[in-house]
């Protein structure tokens, strides 16, 4: 049975989350940025990366696993390359700071590759590539995560959900934005299903015996998209955002939940391209707008109302939620308006937020 939902406007939602994160110990400017990021995710219908994450962040912050006054340092390693040392700050803030350096370099030199070293969980990658596209840049972002996905043909998790996001500017109001996990679904989608007491499709994950499961509480391994193809992509992401930055890889990536008093040491990588160094910018943007229109004009197959470009449904959901409000599980809303910082729910759990035995 699905849980009751509460609908909030974006300002109220952002304020509630910011207040809770500040109460946990995060400084005001960092709490505001994280809340803004999480609101963006919920507006776009990606609830797995929105309010459902607040209590986990609050618990980690309160227990010292997030550096609340980080010593950020950007190390420029070449004309178009650099590493942002995040000092295990909350990832949303660190990644946005690093992106700023990348945007400046890409505008100056035509391309930029910036790694973010030793940060916490950074949320939804499309948030960052969206900002890059608003600066007339093409962007690709990848980020490693802790072992949750079984390798193709295996039974024990080795790689994380290891997402990939892409964006490109257009002549329309919004850029093209595409964001995906390299698993069939991100872990946060299962966390969201748990919070709403809903089942999951049997193609998302397996239980401790390696059998497909529809019970979000029995998940013991996520499945890669398209079998060996997704498996290859998640390995690629792990190499680019982990090994390339000298950080732990694969099964050695720190757990999200095992000890919330310690930092995560995660890595992320941005690749930014300035289209004006390769073609005429306005024509490039017009071509992408034309592509969108031609996709819309493509005759829809039976069972479909129209053809959408990848990521467009998130844009539509954002417009709807701007008007109707953002749906939040009643249990999460009750937590947000309560006096509690957290309920000691996540610490010393396994990768799937289950209490370690």
Q: What is the pLDDT of residues 223-252, one digit of tens each?
A: 999 999 999 999 999 999 999 999 999 999
Tens of pLDDT, residue by residue over 125-159, are: 999 999 999 999 999 999 999 999 989 888 889 99
Total of domains in the chain: 1
- Helical spans, DSSP H, in 298-356: 312-324, 330-337
291 inside domain: no
Q: Rounded mean pLDDT of the chain?
A: 94
Determine which one of 30, 92, 121, 321 is catalytic: 121
β pairing state of 266-273 and 221-222: unpaired
Backbone angles phi, psi at 304, to 5 degrees: -120, 145
pTM comes to 0.93
Give the pLDDT of residue 188. 76
Cα 305–chain centre separation: 29
Is 305 part of any domain? no
Asked if the structure places residue 105 within a domain, the reply is yes
Q: Is 268 exposed, middle or buried (0-12, 13-18, 19+ CB in 10 A)?
A: buried
Q: Where are the alpha helices (DSSP H) in 185-280?
A: 187-195, 228-241
The closest of 350, 310, 6, 291 to 147, measured between CA atoms, is 350
Give the span between the Cα atoms of 331 and 43, in whole angstroms: 19
- In the prediction, which pLDDT does 2 show? 61
Q: Average pLDDT, stretch 82-95?
A: 98
- 137 found inside a domain: yes
Sorting pLDDT into bands at 50, 70 and 90, what band is 207? confident
Q: Which residues contact 205 (CB under 8 A, 6 or more apart)?
A: 184, 185, 190, 212, 213, 219, 220, 221, 222, 223
Q: Closest by alpha carbon to 113, among 98, 128, 131?
A: 98
DSSP letter string, 279-290: S-HHHHHHHHHH
**Cα distances (Å, whole numbers) of residue 301 to 72, 292, 298, 308, 314:** 51, 17, 9, 12, 21
Q: Please report whether residue 354 resides in a domain.
A: no
Provide the strand spans (E) within 52-175: 73-78, 81-85, 111-119, 138-143, 164-168
Torsion angle (degrees, nearest 10) of CA 177, 182, 184, 185 = -60
Q: What is the tens place of the pLDDT at every residue in 249-293?
A: 999 999 999 899 999 999 999 999 999 999 999 999 999 999 999
**Model confidence band, residue 58 (pLDDT cutoffs 50, 70, 90):** very high
Determine the Cα–Cα distance for residues 13 and 352; give it in Å rounded to an integer.
26
Q: Give the residue with greater pLDDT, 189 vs 96.
A: 96
Q: Which CATH number characterizes residue 262's domain?
A: 3.30.1370.60
Is 303 among the domain residues?
Answer: no
Give the DSSP H/E element, type plus range, for residue 270.
Answer: strand 266-273
Six token digits for residue 280: 């005429």
Choose among 152, 157, 126: nearest CA to 141.
126
Residue 1 CA to residue 351 CA, distance in Å, equals 25
Q: What is the pLDDT of residue 209?
A: 83
Q: Has residue 306 been placed in a domain?
A: no
The residues near 280 (Cβ < 8 Å, ≥ 6 apart) are: none
Residue 301 lies in a domain: no
> Which distant-in-sequence residues (6+ apart) come within 8 Å of 338 by Cβ?
none
pLDDT in tens, 288-307: 999 999 999 999 999 999 99
The pLDDT, as a whole number, for residue 15 is: 98
On the question of pLDDT at 160 being above 90, the answer is: yes
| pLDDT band, residue 357 (cuts 50/70/90) | very low
Q: Across the strands, what pairs with 119? A: 266
Using the predicted structure, report yes or no on whether residue 356 has a pLDDT greater than 70. no
Is pLDDT above 60 for 1? no
Residue 218 has pLDDT above 50, yes or no: yes
* Token reading at 297: 């004009």
State the number of CA atoms in the 13 A half-sphere of 272 facing the CB.
Answer: 32
**What are 193-196's contacts with CB under 8 Å, separation 24+?**
195/3, 195/52, 195/329, 195/331, 195/332, 196/2, 196/3, 196/5, 196/329
Whether 121 is catalytic: yes
Domain that holds residue 197: 5-283+312-337
């Amino acid at each position: 049975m699905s849980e009751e939902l509460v609908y909030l406007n974006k300002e109220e939602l952002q304020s509630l989350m910011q207040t809770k994160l500040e109460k946990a110990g995060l400084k005001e400017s960092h709490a505001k940025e994280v809340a803004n990021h999480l609101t963006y995710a919920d507006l776009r219908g990606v609830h797995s990366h929105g309010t459902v994450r607040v209590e986990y962040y609050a618990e980690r912050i309160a227990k010292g696993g997030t550096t609340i006054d980080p010593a950020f340092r950007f190390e420029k390693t070449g004309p178009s390359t650099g590493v942002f040392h995040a000092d295990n700050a909350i990832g949303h803030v660190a990644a946005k700071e690093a992106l700023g350096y990348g945007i400046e370099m890409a505008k100056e030199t035509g391309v930029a590759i910036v790694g973010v070293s030793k940060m916490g969980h950074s949320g939804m990658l499309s948030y960052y590539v969206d900002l890059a596209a608003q600066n007339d840049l093409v962007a690709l972002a990848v980020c490693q995560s802790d072992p949750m996905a079984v390798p193709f043909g295996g039974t024990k998790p080795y790689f994380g959900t290891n997402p990939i996001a892409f964006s490109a500017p257009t002549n329309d109001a919004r850029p093209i934005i595409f964001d995906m996990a390299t698993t069939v679904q991100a872990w946060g989608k299962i966390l969201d299903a748990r919070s709403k007491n809903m089942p999951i499709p049997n193609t998302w994950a397996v239980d401790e015996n390696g059998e497909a499961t529809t019970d979000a509480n029995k998940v013991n391994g996520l499945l890669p998209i398209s079998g060996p193809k997704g498996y290859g992509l998640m390995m690629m992401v792990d190499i680019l955002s982990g090994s390339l930055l000298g950080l732990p890889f694969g099964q050695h990536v720190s757990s999200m939940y095992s000890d919330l008093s310690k930092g995560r040491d995660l890595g992320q990588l941005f690749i930014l391209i300035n289209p004006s160094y390769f073609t005429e910018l306005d024509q490039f943007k017009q071509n992408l707008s034309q592509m969108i229109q031609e996709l819309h004009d493509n005759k829809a197959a039976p069972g479909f109302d129209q053809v959408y470009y990848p990521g467009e449904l998130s844009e539509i959901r954002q417009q709807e939620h701007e008007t109707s409000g953002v749906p939040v599980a009643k249990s999460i809303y009750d937590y947000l308006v309560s006096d509690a910082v957290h309920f000691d729910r996540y610490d010393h759990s396994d990768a799937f937020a289950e209490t370690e035995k």
